Amino acid sequence: MYVGEIRQEFPILQQQVNGHPLVYLDNAASTQKPRRVLEALDRYYREDNANVHRGIHELSRRATEAYEAARVRVAALFGITDPAELIWTRGTTEALNLIAGSWGMANLGPGDEILLSVMEHHSNLVPWQIVAGRTGARLRFLEIDEQQRLDLSGLDELLTERTRLVSLCHVSNALGTINPIREIAARAHAVGAVMVVDGAQSAPHLPVDVQALGCDFFAFSGHKMCGPTGIGGLWGRRKLLEAMPPFFGGGDMIEFVELERSTYAPLPNKFEAGTPAIAGVVGLGAAVDFLAEIGPEAIQAHERYLLGYALEQLRAIPDLRVFGPEDIAERSGVISFTLADIHPHDLATILDAEGVAIRAGHHCTQPLMHRLGVGSTARASFYVYNTTEDVDRLIEALQRARTLFGY
């Protein structure tokens, strides 16, 4: 990979922070935007700004064409053979809430069970808590083993005829653990359960084919894959989507409206009420073009190289504890760690003074933090534009933190 050339595509990386060249290692939270995404957003607002689907004038035609062309390109990236099965949402959180509020409320009842894991992001936990509270369904959880991988030893006991839905992250945002979704989906389907995948951390970093995964729903966020904020998507199998009631009501999701009743538009419009994030969709289409040119396999290989390099350096630092699987083949480019008794927020503040941006906190995974026996961790996460020099700067800043705290 020509990482130097790739970095030149990201204007934000050319700046200094606190007198140091920026090292951006908070990619699990949000990624930076290449020039072509910025240009696509600017071009839409300068030249094509109009609402989609509803107008017959030239601007509306061009906006609609760009909007739907992006759907086709994003679908192709994820192996989605029918683009109408791809629903635009504001991101992974809204996509998971859509499933919970539509499929969940329509299909779950007392005695039914929802299987999650203790490593889930709050976005794949809280919506199911709400649904369980309203329907009488019961939540059950997969635990993690000593290397913070899903413990599948009790899966057969957890998957029963009462299990109606399994919803898991493909990759843990706090640990980097890559979960064996294909195996779990097959076992879920064997008991008649629906399989939901939170793909927020896999869509940007791994080759993803929803058909090969064997899932029924797949949710993702555009801003984590070089696209704009406020745009993401939900893929679902047509049979399930067509049977689900709308999640939002309003314009463009209807077929015919009377005062007392309405009929609904076919997919995908049925779930896209109101004026959508048109510019966001256009920008996401440009981001997907950028990532497709590099190639998901190349992105994963680059991150795995950085991961191996970083883990080797980090494990040489005294008093530093790294979370997640030891085998880099079982994890993505996310490293959560603690350093002695230095609070992760203090670590992040010291690193920021050195121009190194990381994340510190519970990463919206409070139950997981409880399982790990910590309140929070520091987290460095890589993407396609990061380099070994970035890792070296991280290590130098952590050594400076140790010195400042007297270690």
- Which residues have a catalytic role annotated? 364
Long-range contacts of 102-107 (CB under 8 A, 24+ apart): 102/244, 102/245, 102/246, 102/247, 102/271, 103/165, 103/194, 103/217, 103/240, 103/244, 104/128, 104/131, 104/135, 104/137, 104/165, 105/131, 105/134, 105/135, 106/243, 106/244, 106/245, 107/164, 107/165
Of 240, 263, 205, 147, nearest to 27 by C-alpha is: 205
Locate 77 and state its tokens: 């990236």
